[in-house]
Structure 1
Amino acid sequence: MTTTLDLNCDMGEGFGAWRMGDDLALLDQVSSANIACGFHAGDPATMQRVVGAALARGVAVGAHPGLPDLVGFGRREMKVTPAEAYAMVVYQVGALAAFARAAGGRLNHVKPHGALYNMAARDRALSDALAQAVRDVDPGLVYFGLAGSPMVEAARALGLRVAEEVFADRAYDDDGRLAARGTPGAVIEEADAAVAQVRDLLQGRVRALSGAVVRLQADTLCLHGDGAGAVHFAQRLRAALAADGVTVAAPRRGD
């Protein structure tokens, strides 16, 4: 059984006058913050604010690069070449790293967002491009990738430190990938069901929508920060992990 688990949360996803999620409350519950870098969400002022708040709380700061699609929140697939994806990730990670440095900290990790993440999870060439981008910006960064996917294989092949990511509120297909959001049952909305799934994942397994048991490594668990009940769910999960004797801690840089 896994006895140490990172809790990561996607945040900093508002921009301009528009706000999404209660970033400050969520920072009190998680160990890693994945901060939007302006392509799918976020803007410079939001990046600066959330980076500073995370560092003040001792939460590991990560970049959350996505596709350039504010209207679709980065969840719509785009036809991008590996070279284009590489450039997008270098640009976004570099920007977030600069905000971390300006605030007196260091960037700890990178986790691709939304459609970019899901595309890389099934496309090794795209996975290679994303991992290379992260390594070229800073080889000490931790790379968050879907557990058991080409993202993990590509990052390890380049010598990056990897955290295999699992999800509390998303259902799985038989191949270990996330079920598409439009699929019935793909999003787990009941807190008790999500906590039960996390407990299974800590045992190295998850039950797919089909009923099949899929084996997965759980190093870091994603909590989505854009839902109305995100803070309550994070508190509920932290309490469950504490009751089970699981330590919540972020994976740290490789240098």
Structure 2
Amino acid sequence: MLLNCDLGESFGSWTMGLDEQVMPHIDQANIACGFHAGDPLVLQNTLTLAKKHNVMVGAHPGYPDIVGFGRRSMNCSTEEIRAMIHYQLSAISGMAATQGLSVNYVKPHGALYNDMMAKQDVRLAIMSAVASFHQDVVLMLQATPEHKKHTAEANEVGIELWFEAFADRCYDDNGKLLSRNKTGAVLSKEKMLAQVKQLKESGTVTTVSGNTMEIIADTLCVHGDNIEGVNAIEAIRECIS
């Protein structure tokens, strides 16, 4: 199982994440494209770091919401969503090309990701944007019990999907992530490592109510915005190796 992490989310003099410490331990870097975070220099430096450590590059587009860090939903039309995805994809793919890199996949950020999973019209708009981009890229989205439905939607427009699970988040009984407003939504390090081990060995997770649920995942999302998170990524790498 691959490890992916959201990176390149600093902006100007504001620093977000420990990118240099995280990059050596992951396989896929979801790099901000400037709408929710990141700026040209941050994007350039993050790509350079990915190249140094031979990490796969992915676009991490979000709603145009720097102030809210892309965590606020926006009521956008299909045309607007396609355009904002193309705009951000074009920015990172162009910057990547100057360093001899290519963008392999797209993982929407924050509220755009949540809307993609909750609203079919948003999801289909994003799939349409990925399908109509000038180069082939894979769409990353959450592994849920609806994975067959999502695969069928992707097949309709001719794109490939990578499904991701989450190392440090508790799962609700419906297959979605337990809301951060609820107790136990973010797992302790001990529970996180137990969940990663369970995913690796049986392809399942234990939900908030204690039910066992199958999760078919290609990649595992980890977070490294503090030193404890970086240490956890190292432990996860050992667990899945």
Contact 1:21 1:228 in 2 (8 A): no
| Greater mean alpha carbon deviation, residues 68-77 or residues 152-161 | 152-161
Quick one: percent identity of the two aligned structures? 42
Alpha-carbon distance in 2 for matches of 1:110, 1:163 = 10
2:13 is aligned with 1:13:
no
C-alpha separation in 1, matches of 2:239 and 2:123: 34
Residue aligning to 1:72 = 68
Q: Does 1:83 align with 2:82?
A: no
**Within 5 Å, which residues of 2 pair with 1:46-195?**
46-148=42-144, 149=146, 152-188=151-187, 190-195=188-193
The DSSP-based 3-state class of the residue aligned with 1:180 is coil
- C-alpha separation between the residues in 2 aligned to 1:228 and 1:81? 39
Please state if 1:208 is matched with 2:207.
yes
What's the counterpart of residue 194 of structure 2?
196
CA drift at 1:79 = 1.9
- Corresponding pairs, count: 237
Q: Structure 1 pair 36/22, CA: closer, same or farther in 2 (3 Å)?
A: same
Task: Output the CA distance in 1 between the equivalents of 2:204 and 2:109.
Answer: 24
Counterparts of 2:59 and 2:236, CA distance in 1: 24
- The one-letter code sitting in structure 2 at the alignment partner of 1:180 is S
Give the Å deviation of 1:228: 4.3
Q: Which has the higher contact order (CA 8 A, sep 6+)?
A: 1
- Deviations 1:139-166 (CA, angstroms, capped at 9, x unpaired): 5212111113565543343222211110
- Which AA in structure 2 matches 1:77? S
Q: Return the alpha-carbon distance in structure 1 between the equivalents of residues 34 and 81 of structure 2.
A: 15
Residue 165 of structure 1 aligns to a residue whose secondary structure is: strand
Residues 47-56 or 29-38, more deviating: 47-56
Give, as a single letter, the amino acid of the residue that structure 2 aligns with 1:108.
N
Unaligned runs of 5+ in 1: 243-255
**TM-score after normalising by structure 2:** 0.93
Matched, 1:25 2:21: yes
Which is helix-richer, 1 or 2?
Answer: 2
Q: 1:72 to 1:151 in 2, by over 3 A?
A: farther
| Paired residue secondary structure (1:209) | coil
Q: Which runs of 5+ in 2 are unaligned?
A: none
Summarize deviations over 1:102-149 as a string: whole Å, max 9, x none.
Answer: 111111111001111111102111111101111211452121111135
Deviation of the 1:90 alpha carbon: 1.0
For 1:176, the aligned partner's letter is: G
AA matched with 2:194: A
3-state SS of 1:222 partner: strand
- Is the 8 Å Cα contact of residues 121 and 151 (structure 1) preserved in structure 2? no
Contact 1:93 / 1:134 at 8 angstroms: preserved in 2?
no
1:162-210 per-residue CA deviation (whole Å, 9 max, x = no partner) reads 111100011111121112221211111x212111111222222111112
Q: Secondary structure at the match of 1:121?
A: helix
Identify the residue that residue 250 of structure 1 maps to in structure 2.
none
Aligned counterpart, 2:220: 221
- Contact between 1:145 and 1:152, CA under 8 Å: does it hold in 2? no
